[in-house]
Amino acid sequence: MDKEQARFILQSFRPDGADARNPDFEEALSVAAEDRELGAWLASERAEDAAFAAALNDLRIPDELRENILTVLRGEHPADEFNDMDSA
């Protein structure tokens, strides 16, 4: 496996390390361990992934979101403040 193939595979490496035992990821990680530039790229990529995951965890999901989505999928209209604004 060359460096670019390893980079391509590692772009989808999950932050929790769940892929580490997959043979393709094992080989790509081995290439990254031997190649300083690829290793630095992987470290940066993993740091960005961790920051993104942390930012997602900080988002507040409205309690009624799930029900509103299901209501719309049924072809109905959710009763929320946005509908109240339309009639004003």
pLDDT tens for 42-64 read 999 999 999 998 999 999 999 99
Structural domain containing residue 43? 3-86
Q: Where are the alpha helices (DSSP H) in 1-88?
A: 3-10, 23-34, 36-58, 65-73, 81-86
Q: What is the pTM of this model?
A: 0.66
Domains identified in the chain, total number: 1
Percent of the chain with pLDDT over 70: 88
